[in-house]
Structure 1
Amino acid sequence: MISNLKTNLEASLIPWVEDIALKNDSSGHALYIMKEGKTVLEHYGGYHSFKSGAQKVNPASRFNIASARKSYIGLLLAYALYDGLLNLDRPVHDYMKEKDPVFSGVSIRHLLTHTHGIGEGSKSLYTEFTPGENWSYNNVGVDTLAHLVMEIYGETISSFLQKRIFNQLNWAETSWMTEPSPTLVKIISSRYEKPLTGLHTDSDGTQKNLFVSAREFAWWGQLHLDRGRVRNRQIIPEEVVNLATTIQTPRGLQNDLPRNGAFWYVQDIPRIKSEIGDAVPAGSYQILGVTGPTILVIPKYQIVAVKMYNKRYNYGGANYLHFLKEYSNRVVDACT
């Protein structure tokens, strides 16, 4: 059965991933898929950049995962909910030292599910719509909650996750990077421009400098699929994972809009503006970043599917949702 699955996945996904890499002009890519906690497909292609002599992408290569980092911050927020330090439906103002009027009427739930209605201007934030009545993807929610949760716990996001999770599992390919390393894949804006390093001077977990190998990215998904349990050890309380990966979106949102857990996109029914394909069964969840990294978790089939790219604005243009849905649909088709 596993051999058939591997054959199906190889035939469906490897050519697709490589074709998208060409279309997007990504210098490197990776694919890593697990079934019931075991690796069934591992594929690497391309180079760390377009520079002559650049290193080939390999199992140790670490990609900048961009907004997929929200799943790591989201787990910490789920801890805060579990520990009773945050309440989903309490106003954000209850937790703020300085109460910015733009957050009036905004709850923790709104920030966690992109339903807060706050837009980002060039110099300030502004109200875009009434909280809970629409959905708009931006970084206001994650940025606000990231700083809030660090104040609550009195430590950085990165140190919290390092102590409670990464060290427990001996992960050495997941961290917020401040210094260059041969294992880091560059970020491509254009093959004709100097690549970006993705590094930042801060390593507290609030910035977009989280680099992860394809395999540890997949294990991150597997940790969620297994509800925080690794072999005979409960690394994360099961309820923490449940809070992160089940729908927390306010009720009554338009049917075509996505549903979210703690930043994860969660499938209930197919939705027009969701990034998850219509063939993906309910209870599945996904997270992705602007440079192309994606984790798709399908509990029904015990599947974790990871793809990695290093090109900003993958699937650019009006049809980007089509390509995102196509990826997850192909995974499902190979499993059925």
Structure 2
Amino acid sequence: MGKRVKQVPYLAEELISWVEDIKDKNGSSAGALYILKDNDVVVEHYSGRHSHEENARNVQADSQFNVASARKSYLGLAVSFALYDKYIESLDDPISEYMPELDPEIVMGTTIRHLVTHSHGLHIDEKGNWFREFKAGTGWAYRNIGVEILTELIQRLYGKGFPQLLEERIFSRIGLKETGWRTEPDESLVNIIGEVTEPALSGLGTTNDGTEKNLFVSVKEFALWGQLHLQKGRMNGEQIVPSQVIELSTSIQNGPYYDSSLPDNGLFWYVQGDARLRSEMGERVPRDSYQILGVTGPTLLVIPSLNVVVAKMYNKRYNYGGEDYLHYLREFSNKVADLFIDCQQP
């Protein structure tokens, strides 16, 4: 255990004020912030309603937000399990070894490592045709095609989708009831705001196999997902996930890039090595921290050196202001780092 956090009321006020300011600026109807320090809850905040409709439910502890691309951290852990279970021999295996039907000219040289670190260089045009954007391993681009390939890979390797795999191995064992790929309406589910003037979206899917962006999580359980990683897979006195599985997921796995501004990644997590201009984390966030983001605004930041987990939720697509989203993400992560480092001073 580290030093106890001092001045928690001030810390909470600073961070809550920032979260509320962004919520109001960008048209989210809902917001939440949940922070763990030394495994204690030091900030818990809920704000707004499930949509902009007058009769919408107030945000509360059991409200579940659509976490959009933050679901990639769950898929990343499933890939790590596949390596641990020897279904995959190495991250450097060509994906064609496991999915031989893929066009060999397009996927040539593309490994599982490239797919989980956004360095695969594959893209899809408006007609649905695959093409190569850059040579695998030489660049970085946030493209969902890698997620689609690996989702199918886990299904083939285990004979089940990665959500079912995680439910059996993790969720049911640590009591996660407010985490799931939702297909039916429920009052606890927060709507997604597209344009503020348009009707809210449900975010529901047609299946719970992980092929759709319909993962909903309460802010508390989002933080517990981060805490599971922070504690190297150990929860409630039990080793739920082998520590090697967690360590692989949350350490830098990409090779070096010619462009030093490109972000480092673990298995879909952004990981802080040398500070990178195009990373989601600011330059003052300590090394070995990691973070995941969704387009609807959820952000999960884990800072092992400070024993801190920060879960932040919104429900507005492109919540951070379009092309300037990195500025806001980096600003918040720097603020978190500065405040907790300052609070730990004797």
TM-score greater than 0.5 by the shorter chain: yes
Cross-structure match for 1:247: 252
Q: Is the 8 A contact 1:5 1:334 kept in 2?
A: no
Matched, 1:259 2:264: yes
- Residue type of the alignment partner of 1:322: H
Q: Is the 8 A contact 2:5 2:340 kept in 1?
A: no
Matched, 1:224 2:229: yes
Cross-structure match for 2:67: 65
TM-superposition CA deviations, 1:40-60 (whole Å, max 9, x none): 110000000001110010000
Cross-structure match for 1:109: 113
Cross-structure match for 1:53: 55
Distance 1:324 1:232 in 2: 33
Distance 1:99 1:291 in 2: 31
- Residue type of the alignment partner of 1:266: V
Alpha-carbon shift at residue 251 of structure 1 (Å):
2.8
Distance 1:281 1:17 in 2: 21
Alpha-carbon shift at residue 84 of structure 1 (Å):
2.0
SS in 2 for 1:321: helix
Cross-structure match for 2:19: 17
SS in 2 for 1:42: strand
Spell out the pairing of 1:1-336 with structure 2 (5 A cutoff): 2=4, 4-86=6-88, 87-101=90-104, 102-122=106-126, 123-336=128-341
Alpha-carbon shift at residue 252 of structure 1 (Å):
4.0
- Residue type of the alignment partner of 1:166: F
TM-superposition CA deviations, 1:97-148 (whole Å, max 9, x none): 4122321110100001000001121121110001000000110111101111
Deviates more, 1:4-13 or 1:93-102: 4-13
In the superposition, the TM-score normalised over structure 2's length comes to: 0.95
Alpha-carbon shift at residue 8 of structure 1 (Å):
3.5
- Residue type of the alignment partner of 1:114: H
SS in 2 for 1:271: coil
- Residue type of the alignment partner of 1:233: E
Alpha-carbon shift at residue 214 of structure 1 (Å):
0.2
Q: Is the 8 A contact 1:132 1:253 kept in 2?
A: no
State the identity %.
Answer: 50
Distance 1:304 1:159 in 2: 25
- Residue type of the alignment partner of 1:41: V
Q: Is the 8 A contact 1:174 1:213 kept in 2?
A: yes
In the superposition, the TM-score normalised over structure 1's length comes to: 0.98
Alpha-carbon shift at residue 253 of structure 1 (Å):
4.5
Distance 2:102 2:277 in 1: 36
Report how many residues are paired: 336
- Residue type of the alignment partner of 2:97: D
Q: Which runs of 5+ in 1 are unaligned?
A: none
Alpha-carbon shift at residue 10 of structure 1 (Å):
1.3
Q: Which runs of 5+ in 2 are unaligned?
A: 342-346
CA RMSD of aligned residues (A): 1.1
SS in 2 for 1:304: strand
